[in-house]
Amino acid sequence: MFPLDNLAALREALATLEQRFGNAFNVARALREELDAWPSFKAKDGEGLRKFVDFVKQSLAASSVVGQLNILDDVQF
């Protein structure tokens, strides 16, 4: 996992994802699918909530670089 405050690491990770998955649209789709499949967590599940928050933070950081992630802003989502 890369540090959220390190833009260079984020760009490198996104470049790796783009190289592996073909383009930014595929990266966005993969993140969206992961979010859609995210398991529920119950009250007092601190670890589950922490993992979800980390994923959301990473997705938000990536959305500033990958324009196709603006789909995550959709309230219908």
64 domain residue, yes or no: yes
Give the pLDDT score at 73.
Answer: 65
Chain centroid to Cα 15, Å, comes to: 14
Q: What's the number of domains the chain is made of?
A: 1
Q: What is the largest CA-CA distance in the chain?
A: 39
2 domain residue, yes or no: no
Give the pLDDT score at 62.
Answer: 75
45 domain residue, yes or no: yes
Q: Which domain holds residue 27?
A: 7-73
1 domain residue, yes or no: no
Residue 62 burial class via C-beta count within 10 angstroms: exposed 0-12, middle 13-18, buried 19 and up: buried
pLDDT per position as a tens digit, 16-72: 777 776 677 777 777 778 888 988 888 899 999 999 988 888 877 777 766 666 666
- Give CA–CA dist 28/32, Å, rounded: 6
SS3 assignment, position 74 = coil
